[in-house]
């Protein structure tokens, strides 16, 4: 149960959850938190949800921050993408996807629920700039550019990497520090007023050459803003995404040549999957429907760089139906158990 100040929330979280439950996930098949009941207690709005288990961060912690098996990373990533597909249909951006906001239904099966819908916004009402938890915050939000539902895809990429690695991929301590974690390649952003807080125009030969942005040095940024920035915290010696993933090699002991080849292919597929989610230019990014077609998710053989097909947006039944005030579904609950943790650690991929 969650208690929120009525005046502060304006019932937004309740409204979003009810809309998702009643119009887009009526059969409870898409890993969206179910709202069971609401009531007012001492001028606070109390939201009642079904009983869930630990979140994905706690699951990683139980595994001593060594990361989860490839099979679990695949299962959880697919479920997160499935939830975002539903949010996209409802034109809702979650705005705070992270390992703490994905909870297991129980410890017997690897089924999750995405929670904290109260932080969400409508696609046409992206007025807030301080959104997303820092480790999972997209580049466009960090620099203050307009954002869209693509920020949720970036967060899923960060979550998938953390599930595999056991530690955050981008552990920044400030906005500048977070950008420096991202900035191993040049950002493909257009030059905007807000971008100049962190970026400067790199020198190019010829006036006709396109302007490019580069991240200001730590010394320049600290001097301009009167702060003392510290070097980026690094969990990994490697600097590129493929090298970071490949450094977590699987144990080949007792494996046949065929099994080794399969795990190696899984590694290449996972790297390509992450690269598709963590695209710096949001215009070039994948939709959740496209990401679900990646071989890492659907289990098809990985044959090379994945190019997602164009998927036109189709009107949903909910979009064509009358806009009725949602009602509350029936009350259910689940109890905790403790068997999933026995299978969270298996051989790594390379």
Taking residues 22-50, what's their average pLDDT?
89
Distances (CA, A) of 151 to 121, 131, 296, 318: 12, 10, 21, 24
The per-residue pLDDT for 93 is: 96
Q: Does residue 5 carry a pLDDT above 80? A: no
For residue 343, give every residue at least 6 positions away whose Cβ sits within 8 Å of its Cβ, in sequence order, or none. Answer: 69
C-alpha dist (Å) from residue 68 to 5, 313, 346: 37, 34, 7
**Per-residue pLDDT tens digits for 171-219:** 988 888 888 888 753 444 544 545 677 777 766 555 565 566 677 777 7
Sign of CA dihedral 302, 88, 159, 146: positive
pLDDT surpasses 60 at 339: no
Residue 63 pLDDT > 80: yes
Work out the pLDDT band at 169, boundaries 50, 70, 90.
Answer: very high
Interval 135-162: pLDDT, tens: 999 999 998 889 999 999 999 999 999 9
Which residue out of 96, 116, 152, 243 is catalytically annotated? 96
Q: Which of 177-181, 271-275, 334-338 has the lowest mean pLDDT?
A: 334-338
At 313, the pLDDT band (50, 70, 90 cuts) reads low
Kindly report the average pLDDT of the chain as a whole number.
81
Tell me the average pLDDT across 272-295: 93
Model confidence at 134, pLDDT cuts 50, 70, 90, reads very high
Q: Active-site residue 96, yes or no?
A: yes
What is the per-residue pLDDT for 3?
59
Query: Domains of the chain: which residue ranges?
Result: 54-171+236-307+326-343, 186-233
Q: Domain 54-171+236-307+326-343 is of which CATH architecture?
A: Orthogonal Bundle (1.10)
Percent of the chain with pLDDT over 90: 42
Residue 259 binned pLDDT confidence (cut-offs 50, 70, 90): confident
């Amino acid at each position: 149960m969650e208690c929120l100040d009525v005046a502060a929330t304006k019932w937004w979280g309740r409204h979003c959850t009810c809309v998702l439950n009643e119009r887009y996930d009526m059969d409870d098949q898409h890993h969206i938190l179910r709202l069971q009941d609401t009531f007012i207690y001492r001028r606070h709005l109390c939201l009642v949800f079904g009983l869930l288990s630990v979140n994905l961060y706690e699951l990683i912690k139980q595994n001593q921050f060594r990361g989860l098996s490839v099979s679990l990373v695949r299962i959880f990533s697919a479920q997160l993408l499935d939830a975002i597909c539903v949010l996209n249909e409802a034109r809702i951006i979650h705005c705070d996807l992270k390992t703490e906001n994905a909870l297991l239904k129980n410890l017997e099966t690897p089924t999750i629920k995405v929670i904290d819908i109260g932080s969400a916004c409508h696609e046409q009402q992206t007025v807030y700039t301080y959104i997303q938890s820092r480790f999972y915050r997209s580049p466009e939000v960090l620099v203050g550019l307009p954002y869209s539902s693509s920020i949720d895809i970036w967060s899923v990429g960060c979550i998938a990497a953390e599930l595999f690695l056991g530690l955050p991929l981008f552990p920044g301590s400030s906005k500048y520090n977070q950008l420096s974690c991202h900035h191993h390649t040049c950002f493909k952003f257009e030059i905007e007023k807000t971008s100049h807080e962190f970026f400067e125009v790199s020198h190019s030969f010829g006036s006709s050459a396109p302007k490019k942005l580069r991240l200001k040095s730590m010394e320049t940024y600290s001097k301009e803003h009167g702060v003392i920035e510290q070097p980026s915290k690094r969990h990994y010696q490697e600097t590129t995404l493929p090298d970071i993933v490949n450094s977590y090699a699987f144990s080949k002991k007792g494996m046949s040549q065929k099994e080794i080849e399969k795990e190696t292919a899984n590694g290449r597929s996972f790297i390509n999957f992450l690269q598709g989610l963590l695209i710096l230019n949001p215009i070039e990014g994948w939709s959740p429907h496209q990401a679900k077609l990646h071989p890492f998710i659907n289990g098809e053989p990985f044959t090379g760089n994945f190019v997602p097909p164009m998927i036109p947006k189709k009107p949903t039944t909910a979009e064509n139906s009358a806009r009725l005030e949602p009602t509350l579904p029936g009350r259910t609950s689940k109890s905790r158990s403790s068997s999933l943790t026995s299978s969270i650690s298996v051989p790594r991929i390379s």
